[in-house]
Amino acid sequence: MRIPGIVMSMVLVAGGVLCAGAAMAQTAPSTAHADIVNDKGEKIGTATLKQAKDGVKINAEVSQLSPGVHAIHIHSAGQCQPPDFKSAGPHFNPDAKQHGMKNPAGPHAGDLPNFTVGSDGKAKIAMLAKSVTLGDGPDSLFGPAGTSLVIHAGPDDYITDPAGNSGARIACGVIQK
C-alpha cells in the first residue's frame, strides 16, 4: 500500500513543477510601451511594442519634431534624462556588431529604419525590430539595464559606426512592460 502513496506524491510534485513552469512562461510580456519625451521633458508621443514571430513590432506616433527624415534606434539603457539623453547609453548591441544595416560587420540589434516627419511636425512609425525580443535572453529589451527608444535629429546613413551620423538625440522613451 505504500507504493501507491509514493507514486501519487511524485505525480503531485511533478504536476506542481509543470504548473510552476507554465506560470513562469506566461510572465514574459507580449507587449510593451514607451512615452516619448523631447529635450524639455515634455511628452511628444507614445510607442507600443508587440512581440511577433519574427521580432518586435514597433508602432509610434510622435509630434513636435522638425520635418524631414530622422533616425530612431533602440538604446542600451532604460533612462531618458533630457536634454541630451546620453543616459540612454549606446545602441542596444548584445552581439557586439558594428552599426548599420549596410555595414558588413553589422547591424546592432537596436538599428532601425529611418522615418519621415511631415510638415506638421508629426509622424506615424511602423517597423519591425528583427533582432530583439520582449521575452528572455540576451536580445531581450528587458535586461538588467532596460532599453529605450531614441529619436535623432537627422537620418541614419546605415553604415557609419557607432550611430550612422544621425546627429543629436532629440527625443527618448523608456521601454516598459
Alpha-carbon span 83 to 45, nearest angstrom: 16
99 part of the active site:
yes
Q: Which helix H or strand E contains 6, and what residues bound it? A: helix 2-25
Q: Which of these is catalytic: 99, 136, 139, 156?
A: 99
91 part of the active site:
yes
Strand partners, 143: none
2 part of the active site:
no
Q: Which of these is catalytic: 70, 91, 139, 156?
A: 91
Q: Which of these is catalytic: 111, 139, 156, 157?
A: 111
If you count them, how many residues does the chain have? 177
33 part of the active site:
no
- In angstroms, the Cα distances linking 155 to 3, 75, 83 are 71, 16, 20
Q: Which of these is catalytic: 70, 139, 152, 156?
A: 152
How many other β-carbons are positioned within 10 Å of the β-carbon of residue 96? Answer: 7
* Stated pTM of the model: 0.83
- pLDDT of res. 153: 97
Q: Which of these is catalytic: 39, 54, 70, 75?
A: 75
Q: Which CATH number fits domain 31-174: 3.40.50.1820, 2.60.40.200, 3.40.50.10540, 3.40.50.300?
A: 2.60.40.200
Kindly give the confidence (pLDDT) of every residue in the chain, 177 residues in length, as a single tens digit, with 9 standing for 90 and above. Answer: 444 443 333 333 333 433 334 333 445 679 999 999 999 999 999 999 999 999 999 999 999 999 999 999 999 999 999 999 999 999 999 998 988 888 888 899 899 999 999 999 999 999 999 999 999 999 999 999 999 999 999 999 999 888 889 999 999 999 999
> In this structure, are strands 43-52 and 68-70 parallel, antiparallel, or unpaired?
unpaired
